[in-house]
Amino acid sequence: MKTQRLIDMHVHTDNSPDGVHSPMYVCENAVKNNLGAIAFTDHCEVDTYYKDKYNSMVFHSYFECSKARAAFRGQLLVLLGLEIGQPLSVPELADKIVSEKSYDFILGSIHTPKGFGGMDIKEIEYDKIDVYKFMSEYFSELSEIASWKGCDCLSHITAPMRRIEGKYHMNFDYSLIQNDVDNLLKEVIRNGKAIEINTSGLRQPIGKTMPDETLIKRYRELGGTKITVGSDAHTAQDVGKGITDGIKLAKKCGFQKLTFYVKREPIEVEIII
């Protein structure tokens, strides 16, 4: 009987400001958790690249993760990547960062949306703003990143929901901004990019993946084919968490294949669970 090869395409190490464990220790846990492959995607926030010393963290991430890759060869496929936040805040810098090293996989993210003075999506007081207007602008900012050649996949496209639904307990109805949702998903498809099923929400009060079933189904309906699954682990213990649930959800939404990336080229794996 064939078993599903579990691949976690979003993992942080202690080379991210909020990451806890070394690449070696993360790999050890990944093997223990029966993973076949992981992608290290440490943070790189382009808007505060020098101020917050991402230049040094990105360098060390690549160096340390390469060592872990060599040490675990034959046991675990280790992919080298980055999670680039706000790449279009300084596009020429973002282009330089992703082309400087031989990366396997680049995630594009927004953590500090435009118009909030650098405030993180975790800190915004959603009960004091128009959340529909906010999400409409957030999706439009993400669709610009979808057309940026430097990334392969958009990460956690509904990340603000962690707070909007998980903390402020507001029910968000995507159909009220259906045009914005569709524009984003179509832009992803048109540019040949992937979207990520981020399973970190399953370990948090929101209790569901980002995006959730509604948007994953819509992406499939519109013709989306490339989908990755990532735990967004910031500790070794969380590596691989929720990956099986994410794969099952992809299948439920009509996907027959998952995508992972080697040297920035998409590779498809059949879903067999």
Judged by CB under 5 A, the residue of 232, 239, 247, 249 near Zn ion is 232
Peptide bond before 160: cis, by omega within 30 degrees of 0? Answer: no
Compare residues 4 and 89 and give the one whose CB is closer to Zn ion: 89
Minimal distance, residue 1 CB to Zn ion, in Å: 33
Site for Zn ion in 14-43 (CB under 5 A): none
Minimal distance, residue 100 CB to Zn ion, in Å: 20
E strand intervals along 54-176: 77-85, 105-109, 153-154
Using CB under 5 A as the binding criterion, the count of chain residues that bind Zn ion stands at: 3
Residue type, 204: Q
**Does residue 109 interact with Zn ion by CB under 5 A?**
yes
Distance CA 23, CA 132 (A): 39
Distance CA 12, CA 239 (A): 9
Minimal distance, residue 38 CB to Zn ion, in Å: 13
Residue 51, CA distances (Å) to 34, 45, 47, 116 in order = 38, 10, 9, 18
Rounded to a whole number, what is the distance in angstroms from the first to the last CA of the chain? 11
Piece of 21-29, 66-74, 164-172, 229-237 that binds Zn ion (CB under 5 A)? 229-237
Piece of 24-32, 102-110, 140-148, 258-266 that binds Zn ion (CB under 5 A)? 102-110
Look up tokens 């082309």; give the residue. 99
Piece of 28-36, 74-82, 213-221, 230-238 that binds Zn ion (CB under 5 A)? 230-238
Q: List contacts with Zn ion (CB under 5 A).
A: 83, 109, 232
